Amino acid sequence: MCGIVGAVAQRNVSQILLEGLSKLEYRGYDSAGICCIDNNQLHCIKSTGKVKNLKEAVKEKSCPGFTGIAHTRWATHGIPSETNAHPHICDNLALVHNGIIENFATLKERLIAEGYNFKSQTDTEVLVCLIHSHLKKASNLLEAFLQALHEVKGSFGLALIDKNDPSTLYAARSGSPLIIGLGIGENFIASDSLALLPVTRRFIYLEENEIAVLTTENVKVYNLDGKKIEKSEIESDLDAESISKGPYRHFMQKEIYEQPQSLQNTLLGRLDKDDISLETVVGIDDSSFKDIDAIQIVACGTSYHAGLVGKYWLEELTNIPTNVEIASEYRYRKAVVRNNSLFITISQSGETADTLASLRLAKQQNYKKSLCICNVNGSSLVRESDYTLFTKAGAEIGVASTKAFTTQLLSILLLALLIGKQKGAISQAQNHEILESIRKLPALTQEFLACDKELATLSEQFSGKHHCLFLGRGVMYPIALEGALKLKEISYIHAEGYAAGELKHGPIALIDKEMPVVVVAPDNSLIDKLISNVEEVRARGALLYVFTTKDTQFKADDQTKRVNLPACPEILQPILFTIPLQLLSYHCAVINGTDVDQPRNLAKSVTVE
Ligand code: G6P
């Protein structure tokens, strides 16, 4: 969380920094700040709320300077306020920080004893004072920076400037992402390449425990021992256009509508008659999965729900026992790792702190190999995993994940087929049938989007409701969980997903006329079981919204509203039935007047644990 941008150039950088911050707002948006060096003075402006407030403040007060840093915050230490907003200044130094300094309290005590005063409640102000304290004795700022970093525990992405040396920008990474953007006669740093696309497409990824020193002409990277490291440059295939809203009202709406294309991109070059090409998974060969006897999936949030669907598919198509766990739980318990296990992480960003920590833990455990299913090339998970399956959703800006989720699902399905084939667990006929279905997916996705208007009208019945239940069975149960998560994330209606067969064991007590119940009910092998479960709910007076396909036996009446969706192959139902649920949440959020793309208290990339 928190977004950082920095620049060292031969022109005023405040507009570049502010535009960069806007692109990083998905990382946090409770306050923002900027600091530039002009005439050997630090000009610092901060504001609470979104980056647009900071932009207005900068317009009013102006923030000149060819070197600067900026930050958009997701509060960890101290409430969102101007005082707690970054940059934090200590004498000649200004610092922005993404992450948490865990031993800040001890360091603070020591610095107070040394005579430092603190204005804010943040760990970042402690760190900038710590660097300042080392600078008093060190021969230069790089040395002081390194000494300070050796003392801190926790995670950080940092950018530091010194008013006495306006031609240099310092950056460091440990646990929070940071990339360097290479310009001509100017260089940049940011938490995500998206922030820098208007100024460059050439990037260097900082690895863990690396420090960078940037001037207009040079970028030097060091390890924490001060040893110089050679880095290679990567050219991004993203462009600034891909991160604009276009004709859509919100990024989320745009991203929902991009799904036919993003799913097509996930398939691009990967299907070859009845085969999935080996290049689909970077790093594998035709026997990589042959000896795998168990699979452990670890992820957070929406990606975790993708993992839950993956369990159903992997067990069905590969016969390999598969376990799925939330990353923040996995990393702090003693897991029993079976022999020949494959460790899979799923993540849109590739930077989620708990998922990354789980991968690092897994690498010390008895896993045979690690594989990540990820949307961001060059991200930490990608760099640290043995194999990668890119979801190819394109940049996802809306905080609530949509196209990243459906492309994750499709990727897991491809992976299950690939593993199933290598293990000899799937018949040629079944493989052929599934691949034929998959080929139809982008077109079917387009058909499912046609329910948008009906859902916009239906959503009006949800506004004013405070609670909602989502029911599903089998592989549609995780889709019910995801439907509920989406609704609560963006419309702030409390929603829970349940396996429909579990309802009578408690949650049925909640059913009354005020509780809408959304049933995810495609025509599939469990439909009769689901119909019986729904009858139990109907008998208790619930208002039912049944998302189903044409031929199922649900009656529409005063109590039951059917949303009829196109017929589709059973294997694709988790992907396709996600779309009406996304649209339902989207319209409920619009009606409720919430901030759809940046819901309160959330951040897209959670780089703190
Ligand atoms: C945050 C986002 C969610 C996302 C989760 C995991 O909570 O708001 O949308 O599902 O992080 O993120 P990842 O990048 O690992 O998929």
pLDDT 10s digits, 6-25: 999 999 999 999 999 998 98
Model pLDDT for residues 567-594, shown as the tens digit of each residue? 999 999 999 999 999 999 999 999 999 9
Q: Best mutation site among 74, 303, 379 for ligand 1, i.e. most ligand atoms within 8 A of its Cβ?
A: 303
| The two three-digit tokens of residue 430, written as one number | 């079944």
Rounded to the nearest angstrom, the distance between the alpha carbon of 366 and the centre of ligand 1 is 27
Domain identity same for 265 and 236: no
CATH (domain of 413) = 3.40.50.10490
Ligand 1 center from residue 391 Cα (angstroms): 14
From the CA of 235, how far away is ligand 1's center (Å)?
Answer: 25
Same domain, 381 and 477: no
SS3 call for 190: strand
Q: Is the residue at 605 inside a domain?
A: no
b or e along 548-586 (b: 16 or more beta carbons within 10 Å of the residue's beta carbon)? bbeebebeeeeebbbbbbeebbebbbbbbbbbbbbbbbb
**Gap between the Cα atoms of 363 and 21, Å rounded:** 34
Question: Over the chain, what is the mean pLDDT?
Answer: 93
Domain match, 107 and 223 both: yes
Instruction: Clarify whether residues 182 and 220 are in a common domain.
Output: yes
pLDDT tens string 402-445? 999 999 999 999 999 999 999 999 999 999 999 999 999 999 99
Which residue range forms the structural domain that includes residue 514?
450-592
Contact 327, 300 (CB under 8 A): yes
Question: Is residue 9 left, alpha or beta, with left meaning phi > 0 and alpha meaning psi from -120 to 50?
Answer: beta
Which two tokens mark 62? 């102006």
In angstroms and rounded to an integer, the radius of gyration of the C-alpha atoms of the chain is 25
What local confidence, expressed as pLDDT, does residue 535 receive? 86
d(CA 239, CA 234): 14
Kindly state whether residue 284 falls inside one of the protein's structural domains.
Answer: yes
* Domains contained in the chain, number: 3
Dist. CA 347 → ligand 1 center (Å): 7
**422 in the same domain as 471:** no
| pLDDT tens digits for range 351-404 | 999 999 999 999 999 999 999 999 988 888 999 999 999 999 998 989 899 999
Q: Is the pLDDT of residue 342 over 80?
A: yes
pTM over 0.95: no
Pair (105, 168) in one structural domain: yes
| Ligand 1 atom showing the smallest separation from residue 401 Cα | 9
Q: What is the CB < 6 Å shell around ligand 1?
A: 300-303, 347-349, 352, 355, 399-401, 602, 604-606
Q: Are residues 117 and 226 in the same domain?
A: yes
For residues 111 and 236, state if they share a domain.
yes
Q: Is residue 173 part of a domain?
A: yes
**Nearest Cα residue to 145 out of 117, 178, 173, 182:** 173
- Ligand 1 atom, smallest distance to 602 CA: 8
Residues 6 or more apart whose CB falls under 8 angstroms from that of 496 comprise 468, 469, 470, 484, 507
Active site residue 2: yes
Distance between CA 183 and CA 187 in Å, rounded? 5
Domain presence at residue 57 = yes
* Cα dihedral 396, 402, 407, 408 sign: positive
Ligand 1 atom nearest the C-alpha of 299 is 15
Q: Is residue 188 part of a domain?
A: yes
Is the pLDDT confidence value at 237 over 90?
no
Cα-Cα end-to-end distance for the chain: 10
CB-based contact 13:66 (threshold 8 Å): yes
Q: Give me 228's structure tokens.
A: 């110089």
Smallest Cα–Cα separation from 482: which of 555, 570, 379, 584? 584
User: Does residue 604 have an active-site annotation?
Assistant: yes
pLDDT of residue 241: 67
> Which range is most confident: 211-225, 242-256, 543-557?
211-225
- Asked which of 178-182, 313-317, 547-551 is least confident by mean pLDDT, the reply is 547-551
Q: Whose CA is nearest to atom 8 of ligand 1?
A: 604
Q: Whose CA is nearest to atom 1 of ligand 1?
A: 604
Longest dimension (CA), the chain: 80
As a whole number, mean pLDDT of residues 254-277 equals: 94
